[in-house]
Chain A
Amino acid sequence: MRQSFSEWTKSGAPWVWLNAGAVAICLIMVIGLLSLIAVRGLGHFWPANVVQGSYVENDHRVRLVGERVQTEIVPAEQLRESGVTVTENVEEMHRSLMKVGNRDHGGTDFIWIIDDFLENKENPEMLFTAERREWGNFYGYLRGIKEEGTLVASHEGYEKSPEYQVLWDALQTRIERVSSIQEKIDHIEKGEISSINYELERLRLKERSLQLKEIVESAPYQEITDRRLALNAEYESLQSELLALYKAINRDSITAEIANGQVVELKIASIVRAFLPNDMGLGGKLVHYFQKLWEFVSTDPREANTEGGIFPAIFGTVMMVLIMSVIVTPFGVVAAVYLREYARQGFVTRLIRIAVNNLAGVPSIVYGVFGLGFFVYFLGGHIDDAFFPEAKPAPTFGTPGLMWASITLALLTVPVVIVATEEGLTRIPRAVREGSLALGATKFETLMKIVIPMASPAIMTGVILAIARAAGEVAPLMLVGVVKLAPSLPLDLNYPYLHLDQKFMHLGFHIYDVGFQSPNVEAARPLVYATALLLVIVIALLNLTAIQIRNHLREKFKALEM
């Protein structure tokens, strides 16, 4: 039977449907957002085909080589207004953003083109892409290989041929050689030389500290001077070794033809990877894709964070979160145990509970301000005065750093742990505790052997939620220790190995910094999506684990209550 519309409205059904619509909208938004991040983030690593064509604009014809990044529709009217000749009775046109690379020759990485103006589109198999250490991508045709400035191999032509393959393979071997030398250089620069510098700095501080203590005997000073001489000698020899390596790495170069027909020379040392995207099969592309993905999570950033990997940011985030959880777990648990098991329940505990609950809702930036003022300037300043007078006026702990960031976030997340642990403690049936006490166990023994083990999943949940919150928090970190580019990791082989006073990189801040402070936002954007995706995955996994543990816990105690 068909209801009339007014009758149907009266029953309240439209409202129910509208409410259902709200849920549906929420779900669509969440899924849409996650897929947007996933598509944009993962798509970046796929080796896109490089298009070559001749671009005609106002009777001016140029050869164009590049990757298509993005396409949009623009009204023809708008184009006409901006001085582009568009045929009559055309309503709208497609416009594409092309990544043309070769920033050192053309000036810009990206240009907007109108699709219809690009003629003779093709994907030449010989066209290669080179990822470089600086100046972004390079697109062109390989023309020759030079060793010490003299041409050792060359090839002309635009078609794929066996000779070309030989040249290409030679290039690959030389790139491999360069990267193995680069590895040695990195090892010396970042490993040995940096530890020499580190030790020299420590010697300087030691000397200064001796002076401050007004020690006059010459023996300790002599020791320092000797050691310094030895280090300097070591440094000299490493330096000469480096010089030789640099000479070796700069031996080879290639010549290549770029879009405008010009033949340019390119040092092989500047190439990270070269490939023929149009010549790759699906398998090759897949291999390339996973290589890039691996590079993304395992290497250092290049070019002001707009290329390369994000390993230091991942490492910094993990370090910070680990130190934070080491601090937050015992304190949170002890506070919860005190509140639930030891404190006399009454008005005061109720008040404290409300306060603790509310602190979870205090804006994180407030914690940042507190951390900066109290931890960094107040505590840090006093620590420096008491323990590091030799380093002054340079601050050691009186400046934002890893330790303060971890402690600030521990304070931020301690309410989460307290609330979760308390919930776990409440769920433990009274009978279990009483049973233990009746058998003669003291309160502490009951706590340690019965209560805490039973509540441990709840504690775990709390800690995981705390970690998830800390991993995604950025605002307070901006004040207490995060930097856009840290010179070294907070954990290395130099004594005392873990450098709590160092500044560090963080995934969340990396997103903010690269997305908003980067000089080349267009080039950096895909990386930001990829970073965001990584962060979302990590946090979602942490949360799902917490939810799983919570559900498991509930099931377990349901059985107990029976």
Chain B
Amino acid sequence: MSKDNIASAELDFNTPSAKRNRSIRALKDKFASVGIAFGGISVIVAILLIFFYLLYEVAPLFESADIERWQENNQQVAPYSVPGEGKTLYLTMEEQAEIGLRITDSGQLVFFNTLNGDVIKQESLNVPAGATVTSFAIASEYSGIFALGFSNGEAIVFKQTYKSTYPDGIRVITPEVAYPLGTAPISISEGPVEVLALNGSEDEWTIVGGQRSKLTATDVTLSLNIITDEVSAETNTFTLPNMNIPAKKLLLMPDRSWMMIASDGGKLGIVNMKAEGGPAITQLIEATTGNITSFEMLLGGNSLLISDDLGVTSQWFLVRNDKNQWVMTKVRSFENGKAAVSSISIEHRRKGFVTISEQGQLSFYSTTAHRTSLSAAIIDGNADMIALAPRSNALLVEQNNQLSLWAIHNEHPEISWSAIWEKVWYEGYEEPEYTWQSSASTNDFEPKYSLMPLAFGTLKAAFYAMLFGTPLAICGAIYTAYFMVPAMRRKVKPFIELMEALPTVILGFLAGLWLAPFMEVNLAGIFVTLLVLPAAIIVFAYAWSGAPKAIRYLIPDGWDAALLVPVIILATYFSFAIAPYLEQMLFGTEMRYWVTSELGIPYDQRNALVVGVAMGFAIIPTIFSITEDAIFAVPKHLSYGSLALGATPWQTLVRVVMPTASPGIFSAVMIGMGRAVGETMIVLMATGNTPIMDVNIFEGMRTLAANIAVEMPESEVGSTHFRILFLAAFVLFIFTFMVNTLAELVRQRLRKKYGSL
């Protein structure tokens, strides 16, 4: 457009193209507003998602179990009549809960479809002619090995196995019966086998049985003939001494050195099978005031579960007492109202069990967590038998000759508040303890998920780091902000802030590979330095104050720090030089050996002292920077006023500046602590990562963060272990978030306060 047009004011702002242009611009603007708002909000939401996602992963840990009728093709599976004949001795299911197994008192094994009760396979055991089945025993739910005792004094051991094949890509499961000790019954007693127990592994087995007051034990040793490839069994039967306790039910531990006898009423007898001088009863206990209704071993065969007709199930295991004897001890008990416990089923993979009462009240328990994850009345009246599937996802209930199949959702019963934060009495331990031990090589391992040792380790590491870092950082910040000459301050501050960016993996590596061995050798030197350094600084300062003015005026005020650098280096060198002589003089040996031998304190090379120094080093810049800002931001007229009234600089600092800046210093310390608590690499590399609870400065620890880094990659997705690591992360998140928020709020208030000054 030419100048004339403008001058003549003929400029038309409303030409169609201008209008169009404007509306496009307005539209763009609108779009941008919406877009930016959307983008901004979604970034913020994404950040907040962390909180909710962690919660989402953790929440299932605390959900209670639920049970419902099994659904197949959206149809409830209706109860069906019990397949096969006879009375049920035992009921179980295979891995997929598709096939059930009923062991009857006529010596029949009935495999049936759990959905409709159709018999898939029926196998008759080799019942001796003229004999009847008089007793039943199970080695363990996990192994699927059972035994039947007969009225002629013989017993047979058999095992359920299942084979999966995939003809045409569809899974077909075929049940089979195996006879680990041979197909022929073994003679174990002279009279009828009224009570029976067995246990063992691979090729060593023991069967105990006989009449209620006359028991015999039979050791069976299997040997493989290499030439014929046949297994032959060698048996050795001996009579057990009279225990004076008529047995109602027997149990044998897997190591076959302990036998438990349930007797009439609530009596419990413990027999040491491998005692010197032959098997002998070691304990006779009144286990309950009622009558024992069921008597089973928990997964792993270390714990005994005794249910009674008062509705209580108690867990017992052997605990070593101070005389070095094993004593069967009642550890915890689970109440199920007042109704008698009529049947119990043990979980195959976890330390848990299910009971059903005479009134049809079903309860799920986890022993480690001492938790009842479900208690619900599912049927009316008494159930004859219940059976859990190996994956604990299905339950069979037999009542009045009818079987019903139920679906169970009970993912994480082993977690409860008490299992995580309180002392727990684990199997085989002498007393309740805080222990973190998340995995082991065996299947029947009891996971120990106490977060206490980890939380303790976290705080211990943070404490020693703060002990080392805070004084240095705050004192340094005070000097830098208040006394240092600006020219030096401009250099020092960015330099120390640069430290903040130093990757912690480098600090951790130096701490673990350089500092830890160095400290081990020069332990005395470290402590001597701690004493000598402040003294050396004071002595030098006093000497300096008395030095001739000609020298003193060479260095103006505020350069003291630079002056001290050589002093500190010399003092440190001196300390390390005299330390060996000092320790020879005081302890007669190296301090490190003295600590272990004289004080009796264990010394780890990678210990809390190393972590304290390394992590203290990492938090110095954080605390330093914020403190320095807080002190520097105190309005200058306050200190000028104080100085004008005759206060010394130090008085001004302590009485005027520090009180004003104290909230800032507090928030600096809080943020520093947040960093120390969450630091991973330094503790991972500079400690031994042993989850112990000990304040000893010469021992290591394992922190929450390091624990996550160590165990997360190998934990199975969705498992309890996986979720508990998420819980650890969540705890860290909440802790640091709260600490930081507190610090931030304090800082904001401080800023307002400065504003008003």
Contacts and interface: CB of A to CB of B under 8 A. Distances in A.
B620 A373 contact: no
B523 interface: no
Interface stretch (B101-109, B144-152, B448-456, B707-715): B707-715
Given A17-B538, A442-B26, A512-B508, A3 B678 contact: no
Interface residues of B, number: 107
Contacts of A24: 561-562, 564-565, 567-568
- The binding surface of chain B is classed by DSSP as helix
Contacts of A21: 475, 533-534, 537, 561, 564, 568
Interface residues of A, number: 98
Given A17-B541, A23-B561, A411-B47, A442 B678 contact: no
A182 interface: no
A18 interface: yes
A366 B475 contact: no
A8 B650 contact: no
A334 B40 contact: yes
A482 to B, nearest CB: 11
Given A442-B29, A479-B713, A30 B561 contact: no
Contacts of B494: 547
Most chain A CB within a 10 A radius of its CB, from B533, B725, B740: B740
A468 interface: yes
Which of B50, B509, B534, B709: most chain A Cβ within 10 A?
A: B509
B741 A354 contact: yes
B47 A359 contact: yes
A372 B718 CA distance: 12
Given A356-B47, A511-B509, A23 B492 contact: yes
Contact of A365 (B53, B479, B709): B709
A25 interface: yes
A331 B546 contact: no
B506 A478 contact: no
A528 B509 contact: yes
A2 interface: yes
Nearest to B540: A17
Contacts of B231: none
B521 to A, nearest CB: 8
Contact of B479 (A16, A28, A478): A16
Interface stretch (B191-199, B367-375, B510-518): B510-518
A370 B744 contact: no
Given A334-B43, A443-B29, A539-B501, A365 B541 contact: no
Interface in B1-54: 25-26, 28-29, 32-33, 36-37, 39-41, 43-44, 46-50, 53-54
Contacts of B538: 14, 17-18
Nearest to B685: A516
A23 B538 CA distance: 15
B714 to A, nearest CB: 11
A220 interface: no
Contacts, number: 308
B510 A374 contact: no
A107 interface: no
A540 interface: yes
Nearest to B503: A472
Contacts of A544: 498
Nearest to B500: A543
A362 interface: yes
B677 A33 contact: no
Contact of B620 (A26, A335, A508): A26
Contact of A16 (B472, B542, B560, B681): B560
A525 B513 contact: yes
B607 interface: no
Q: Of B39, B40, B675, B678, which is in contact with the most chain A CB atoms at under 10 Å from its CB? A: B40
11 contacts: A21-B475, A21-B568, A22-B472, A352-B44, A354-B744, A373-B57, A414-B43, A447-B32, A479-B708, A479-B709, A512-B685
Given A369-B725, A532-B506, 18 more contacts: A21-B561, A33-B617, A36-B514, A335-B43, A343-B40, A355-B48, A363-B677, A368-B708, A411-B50, A443-B32, A472-B502, A475-B681, A511-B509, A512-B508, A532-B509, A542-B501, A543-B501, A547-B494
Interface of A: 2-3, 5, 8, 11-30, 33, 36-37, 75, 330-332, 334-339, 341-343, 352, 354-359, 361-370, 372-374, 377, 411, 414-415, 418, 442-445, 447, 465, 468-469, 471-475, 478-479, 508-509, 511-512, 515-516, 521, 525, 528, 532, 535-536, 539-540, 542-544, 547
